[in-house]
A and B are shown apart, each in its own frame.
Chain A
Amino acid sequence: MSENLIKPENLVYKKTDVMTDRILHYCPGCAHGTAHRLLAEVIDEMGIQNETIGVAPVGCSVLAYYYFNVDMQEAAHGRAPAVATGIKRVFPEKFVFTYQGDGDLAAIGTAETIHAINRGENILVVFINNGIYGMTGGQMAPTTLQGMKSSTSPFGRDVKTMGSPLKITELIAQLPGAYFVTRQAVHKPANVRKAKKAIKKAMEYQKLNKGTCFVEIVANCPSNWKMTPVQSNQWMEENMFPFYPLGDIKVPEEN
């Protein structure tokens, strides 16, 4: 019965085949689902599903290879850019991306991140920054804001003893190998459209062998921030965005 409801003439939106039918394990309201989908749609639209190899991190998106219907490798914590380097170097004609959280990319994997980008590896790095360790249950991340509470900074991040939140994206923008560096969000339709555009641009640059493209997505974490999805998005706008302002950080000179 339900099958008959959707006909080609009234079909306005369809889940891309680049995502599998597996049910996402992410929490309600989490940005991962949207971010996955945008990346999958870009791959679909570019017709590169069979030429794309992704690298999943350790973190909430550790199982990303269940959801993307492209060949993928699961990397050790923080090592995704090194794994992606290994893949891209032996398959220079393939599209390679990493999908990493803030702990993976900006703490344990800082060296791999900086050096892969400094070499200008022709890969896309998608960086989900929610300022917290999600998978392990809400510990402090390198990007946790000053004063922000987490299970390992229960009285708020004290920068005197715990260091300041790391603006890794601004740091990366300094590297000659970084071609396109941008910071986006996916909590509102307008942001979703912009973020998708950024991801698409990045993948197109990869096709032209321009160097590393880096797309940060500032994200919420309702579960570990202990808020409702709506509250968390509002909190993100009020607290995360002032410190991690949205927009392009490094754009190619010809643009």
Chain B
Amino acid sequence: MKELRLMKGNEALAEAAIRAGADAYFGYPITPQSEVIEYLMANKPEERTGMVVLQAESEVAAINMVYGAAGCGKKALTSSSSPGMSLKQEGISYIAGAELPCVLVNVVRGGPGLGTIQPSQSDYFQSVKGGGHGDYKLIVLAPSSVQESVDYVKLAFELAFKYRTPVMIQSDGIIGQMMEKVELFEQMPRVEPDYEWATIGRKEGKPSTFVTSLQLQAEEQEKVNLRLQAKYREIEKNEVLFESHYCEDADYLLTAFGSCARITRKAMEMARAKGIKVGLLRPQTLYPFPTEEFNRLAGQVKGILCVEMNAGQMVEDVRLSVNGKTKVEHFGRFGGMIPNPDEILNALEQKIIGG
């Protein structure tokens, strides 16, 4: 039987990392995600599984430690919150360029700048559109519960190694700080890497391996880019995840991700109670985006309201997906403010049904 516990999102995620057989965690404290490293330090993964945990001198150092460990074919992860993720972008770009697998966790707080420590979703663009330089993508998973924070750690490592690409879990201050019931999966073994792309020590009689994102010849760099793009098309084809509620007979559609989707679901239930046929589509992968599902539903509904804890970021992908087939509006609270179901329902009535 699986183990049922009441856990904080950040702690559950940390426990999931140990159980997923992670080899190394490198991080730097920042609110509201410090519980990840605190939990790891307190729970002695070095004794439990041999997993390494190290507090780095900065987010910059932490992501480069991940690069080093990932380059050795090891399962490595780091976590931070928004200002810290900005610092990590250089390293993330290098990891994507060198095609290394790793897991990144962003427990998002409000920005810009030092911003606020309260929950937000304002890093959607940074995560989904590529926060660092160059043409690359991250697979972005958006948990909306403590349970998904756990399940997505396992999934993230699977996807990272399947595609040799960094995978982001984009959580936020709500998901990270809240406690909920959670079922933990059983301890998975750590695996000794034996990949031809990894620096695990040269094999006798074979050329040495190097991990790099550098190609001085334009022709060679174009080849790298074409390979990356082909990989992203595969990911788009295979890895889209979403959850839909009451979409089949819906006249109107609500959409939201992460913690915001929980609140939006309440608004949907309130609308249904009033006799308004509303559905909810919750992207679980922000990249790859459920473009086809939005496009399909756009032919059926009279309008879509995208609810986000930001000034309107995912709404752009929704608009691109429906390609003008139906009206798409945005409702957001930001800077750490959290929308309540009443104002979401009100926005639906004003902007979509009445508008």
Contacts and interface: CB of A to CB of B under 8 A. Distances in A.
Contact of A50 (B71, B94, B98, B204): B204
A241 to B, nearest CB: 32
A185 to B, nearest CB: 28
B210 A71 contact: yes
B276 interface: no
A52 B210 CA distance: 12
Contact of B202 (A49, A86, A114): A49
A234 B335 CA distance: 61
Given A86-B26, A112-B61, A115-B61, A50 B201 contact: yes
Interface string A102-119: 000000000110110000
B202 A74 contact: no
Interface in B48-97: 52, 54, 56-58, 60-62, 64-72, 74, 76, 90-91, 94
B71 A73 contact: yes
A235 interface: no
Interface in B24-48: 24, 26
Contacts of B68: 55, 73, 75, 82-88, 90
Contacts of A83: 64-65, 67-68, 71
Interface stretch (B123-131, B174-182, B211-219, B295-303): B211-219
A190 to B, nearest CB: 32
A60 interface: no
B208 interface: yes
A94 interface: yes
B209 interface: yes
A115 B239 CA distance: 39
Contacts of A73: 67-68, 71, 199, 210-212
A243 interface: no
Given A71-B199, A94-B201, A112-B57, A85 B67 contact: no
B220 to A, nearest CB: 13
B60 to A, nearest CB: 7
B65 A72 contact: no
A112 B64 contact: yes
Contacts of A85: 54, 56, 61, 65, 68
B203 interface: yes
B76 A71 contact: no
B202 A50 contact: yes
Contacts of A72: 199, 208-211
Contacts of B211: 72-74
B58 A65 contact: no
Contacts of A53: 72, 199, 201
Contacts of B69: 86-87, 89-90
Contacts, number: 131
Q: How many residues of B sit at the interface, in one of the four size bands?
A: 35 or more
Contacts of A79: 60-61, 64, 67, 91
B23 interface: yes
B26 A71 contact: no
Nearest to B66: A86
B184 interface: no
Given A62-B214, A85-B68, A51 B201 contact: yes
Nearest to A114: B57
Nearest to A94: B201
Nearest to A53: B199
Given A49-B202, A69-B202, A90-B74, A82 B210 contact: no
B200 interface: yes
A68 B60 contact: no
Contacts of A94: 201
A72 B23 CA distance: 20
Contacts of B94: 75-76
Nearest to B210: A65
B65 A82 contact: yes
B201 A75 contact: no
A46 B168 CA distance: 41
Listed residue (B57, B76, B90, B200) with the most chain A CB atoms within 10 angstroms of its CB: B57
Contact of A90 (B23, B60, B213): B23
A79 B64 CA distance: 6
A240 interface: no
Given A76-B67, A90-B69, A115-B56, 13 more contacts: A50-B202, A56-B212, A62-B214, A71-B201, A71-B209, A73-B210, A76-B90, A82-B64, A85-B56, A86-B76, A88-B68, A111-B60, A112-B60
13 contacts: A20-B208, A53-B72, A72-B210, A74-B98, A76-B64, A79-B61, A83-B64, A83-B65, A85-B61, A87-B199, A88-B68, A89-B24, A111-B61
CB-based closest 8 A-B pairs: A86-B68, A82-B64, A86-B65, A74-B212, A71-B199, A115-B57, A83-B68, A79-B64
